[in-house]
Amino acid sequence: GQNIDQPTEMTATEGAIVQINCTYQTSGFNGLFWYQQHAGEAPTFLSYNVLDGLEEKGRFSSFLSRSKGYSYLLLKELQMKDSASYLCAVLDSNYQLIWGAGTKLIIKP
Amino acid sequence: SQTIHQWPATLVQPVGSPLSLECTVEGTSNPNLYWYRQAAGRGLQLLFYSVGIGQISSEVPQNLSASRPQDRQFILSSKKLLLSDSGFYLCAWSVQGAHTGELFFGEGSRLTVL
C-alpha cells in the first residue's frame, strides 16, 4: 500500500528553527509537495521537490532524498503566523497525489 | 489571475437530507477539478476528479456523486446524507495536462450531519 508518515504535532519557539520530517512509500514517484494549512482554512502550496537536494524559498526550505524515501521542511526565524498544519504529499506513478495526515506546528512566544 | 470559490462555507444537515456543494473557477480554461474530504487527523481523501466537462472519475465508492456541467463548475451532491459524511470538503483545480501536484484550493465547506 501507499503510505506517507509525518509527526502528528510539533512545538517550537518564536525565532527558532524547526524541521518537519516526512517519509513515504508509494507506487512510483513524480515529485513531493509541501502545503501549509491554517486552522479552518484551505491548504496552500509551499514547495515542490522532484530531484534530490535542497530547495530554498525565503524562510522555508525543503529537502528530498529519493533513495531514502525521505523529505523535510525546514522553517527558519519562526513567526507566530507559522502556526499551522504542514502537509506532505507525493505524486505517484499515476500522477495522483498521496497525502500525509499533516503535522500541526505550534509556535510559542 | 485565477480564483476558485466554493459554497456554502458551513452546512448543518440532518441525516437523510440531500446535499449540494458548488465550486467555480475563474481565470483559467479547461482545468483539472477535484473534490477532497478532510477528516480530523487524516490525510486529504480524493473523492472525485474531472479532466473535462462530463468526465468524472470516482476514487472512493460512497453515497456521494459529482458533476461538471460547465468547464469551470464542479458540483458535489448526495441524495441522502449519512452521519459519516460529516467533514471538511475542499474543491481544488490544477493546470490541465501539467501532471503537477500543485493544486489550488477553494475556501472549504464544513459539513455537519446530525
Tens digit of each residue's pLDDT (9 = 90 or more) over B5-26: 999 999 999 999 999 999 999 9
pLDDT at res. B42:
80
pLDDT at res. B41:
75
Interchain CB distance below 8 Å, A48 and B101 = yes
Interchain CB distance below 8 Å, B100 and A31 = yes
Distance CA A13, CA B85 (A): 37
The pairs formed by A22-25 with CB atoms below 8 angstroms and a separation of 24 or more are A22/A70, A22/A71, A22/A72, A22/A73, A22/A88, A22/A100, A23/A68, A23/A69, A23/A70, A23/A71, A24/A69, A24/A70, A24/A71, A24/A88, A24/A90, A24/A98, A24/A100, A25/A1, A25/A69
Please tell me the distance in Å from A14's CA to the nearest CA on chain B. Answer: 25
Q: In A, which residues are within 8 Å of B101 by CB distance?
A: 30-31, 33, 48, 89-91, 97
B61 pLDDT band (50/70/90 cuts)? low
First to last CA, chain A: 40
DSSP class of residue A15 equals T
Interchain CB distance below 8 Å, B46 and A96 = yes
Distance CA B6, CA B33 (A): 12
Q: How much is the mean pLDDT over chain A?
A: 95
With a cut of 70, which residues of chain A have pLDDT below it?
none
Of B43, B90, B99, the CB nearest to A4: B43
